[in-house]
A and B are shown apart, each in its own frame.
Chain A
Amino acid sequence: MNETGGSVDVLGVGKTYGQAVALDDVTLHVEPGEFMTLLGSSGSGKSTLLNVVAGFTRPTSGSVTVDGRDITHDPPYKRDLGMVFQHYALFPHMSVAENVAFPLRRRRVRGAELTRRVDEALDVVELGGLRDRRPAQLSGGQQQRVALARAIVFRPRVLLMDEPLGALDKRLREQLQLEIKRLHTELGITFVFVTHDQDEALTMSDRIALLRDGRVVQVGTPADLYDRPASRYVAEFLGESNLLPAANDSEALLVRPQDVRLSRPGADLPAGDHAHDGKVTEVIYLGSGLRVEVELRSGGRLIARTGTRLDPVPRPDDEVVVHWRQQDCVTVPA
């Protein structure tokens, strides 16, 4: 399998249900072979956008093209896109192999070629031994792998995934995240992945499109979004953030908790550091570190994440100085 991925272009797509606006003039370009994640909370429009690309939802305005071909008015079955659904949507009356063979049969693949490609796809997801099982006899993770195999077996140039890991427990999620990432590298096809989980988005994506209220608020690499959020909303959506008043009212200062350091009052601080006096209000032991909440004397609260071996370990009511390096804070439009 050495396909190259297709490019996807969403141009000015809007979708309204009566008065409710699900998508508001969304434009998004996905590069061939890219892993693009549509990230957002529920109701942000991310699934609607995916369904518009898949063809299950007809947009009220705008167009969708794949490799430059306008597919806005094509029904889903003519779009030739792979799709993995949130709840797997495996056909319960078919075996694993029959499920995987389904898209091939629709494309008139028969006989030995059919068997070979089904086996190949099942091998890719490491389920070769389960080909004759029914979906009901599989675990959640196995079902998701079958859904993956079924979506890639016909070698689509674009694979759409709608919260594929949403129903799995944390450990399995993390394992499958890595596998999906590996699959993406191996296949070289374009992935469009929907999730509400910021960690998942940061781990897996080449680029992330963050949606809010039917609009794309920022598109960029995980580092772009995390380190250089385009707005307060983006900063708060991705990871824990401290937002402090900046020089002028239209902006805020963002410092990530892991960049915040704690020192005792009067200690020598590195030159150029921003520093504030405060009082510890809460300390939570997380195993991997401490989460320390500090009430600033200048007003407001701030979270710091530190190692567990601070000396001394901060305790509530301790007077502290919080400080960070100049390059660790960015200005964000408020």
Chain B
Amino acid sequence: MTGEAVTGRRLPDGWGFLVLPLVAFLLVVFVHPLISVLARSLSDPEPGLGNYAAFFDSPVYLDVLVNTFVVAGLVTLVTLVLGFPYAYLMTLATPFWRGVLMAAVLVPFWTSLLVRTFAWVLILRDTGVVNEVIGALGGQPVPLLRNLAGVLIGMVQVMLPFAVLPIYATMRGVDRRLLQAAEGLGARPAFAFWRVYAPLTLPGVAAATLLVFVSSLGFYVTPALLGGPQNVMIGELIVQQLSGVLRWGFASALAVILLVVTGVLLLLAARVVDLRRMIGGGR
């Protein structure tokens, strides 16, 4: 819409005011609580940076932070390794099979998180489906629950749609004739794929990486149900500090740390990827 057709937009119609109710609502319900968390982390039990000092002085807590990053990193890696070829295949498949592949991505996307996590508990526990099958085949039970394997299996399944959809969206916009052109110019297919096609899908891959990694940092439900004491992530630690020992100030400091890490990553990434499109791609 350019030129003369837009003139209606110039009428003083007050559309802008319609943003106000939501802004006010979010300031009260969302921003204000976040600010009080920051305030509390600096004032409870006593004013100062004590809560932050306690965090950075303790190897136990730092381990949790490191573990959070490790888990998020592993989840991102596995998600990309599975999601990239999946998305690529979607661009090659016939409309019918593309629909099937898309449905497979969307079904878990729309299924309750708890239902999915619960299903993993039933499958992965020592008396679960996997170990029953292994047992029936004469093997030894493999511990899959309350450890890193369980967390990864559960979280990757949750995050896969968020990787496949943006990558697929980008791939769909890449002109496949470029591959033919490269091959016509003498490049072997693998070379053409990795040097011509793959770089063009980078925006989607970047969006997927960011979305998966940042979301993984803040996970609570899946690690709490599928992980063990060795793999506590920062989200779980926050809840523990609150429900177990009522250390409000410390829990708030943890929340601020997680929020700052998330925010910094997002701000850095916002220079590279369009956040709105990224969230939209998750639909």
Contacts and interface: CB of A to CB of B under 8 A. Distances in A.
Interface string A10-28: 0000000000001000000
B4 A47 contact: yes
Contacts of B8: 56
Interface in A209-232: none
> Interface of chain B, helix or strand or loop or mixed?
helix
A174 B4 CA distance: 26
A307 B10 CA distance: 54
B11 interface: yes
A51 B8 CA distance: 10
A58 B10 contact: yes
Interface string B1-15: 000100110110000
B11 A51 contact: no
Interface in A31-81: 47-48, 51, 56-58
B166 to A, nearest CB: 30
B11 A48 contact: no
A51 B10 contact: no
Contacts of A51: 4, 7
A51 B3 CA distance: 12
A292 to B, nearest CB: 40
A56 B8 CA distance: 6
Contacts of B7: 48, 51, 56-58
Contacts of A57: 4, 7, 10
Nearest to B11: A58
A98 B10 CA distance: 30
Interface string A200-215: 0000000000000000
Interface in B131-148: none
Contacts of B11: 58
A90 to B, nearest CB: 16
A168 to B, nearest CB: 19
Nearest to A76: B8
A48 B4 contact: yes
A47 B11 CA distance: 17
A282 to B, nearest CB: 38
B9 to A, nearest CB: 10
A22 B7 CA distance: 12
Contacts of A22: 4
A48 B8 CA distance: 11
A22 B4 CA distance: 9
A56 B11 CA distance: 8
A56 B3 CA distance: 13
Nearest to B12: A58
Among B4, B8, B10, B11, max chain A CB count under 10 A is at: B4
A146 to B, nearest CB: 21
B11 to A, nearest CB: 7
A39 to B, nearest CB: 16
Contacts of A58: 7, 10-11
A58 B8 CA distance: 9
Given A47-B4, A48-B4, A58-B11, 9 more contacts: A22-B4, A48-B7, A51-B4, A51-B7, A56-B8, A57-B4, A57-B10, A58-B7, A58-B10
Interface of B: 4, 7-8, 10-11
14 contacts: A22-B4, A47-B4, A48-B4, A48-B7, A51-B4, A51-B7, A56-B7, A56-B8, A57-B4, A57-B7, A57-B10, A58-B7, A58-B10, A58-B11
Closest 9 CB pairs of A and B: A57-B7, A47-B4, A48-B4, A56-B8, A56-B7, A51-B7, A51-B4, A58-B11, A58-B10
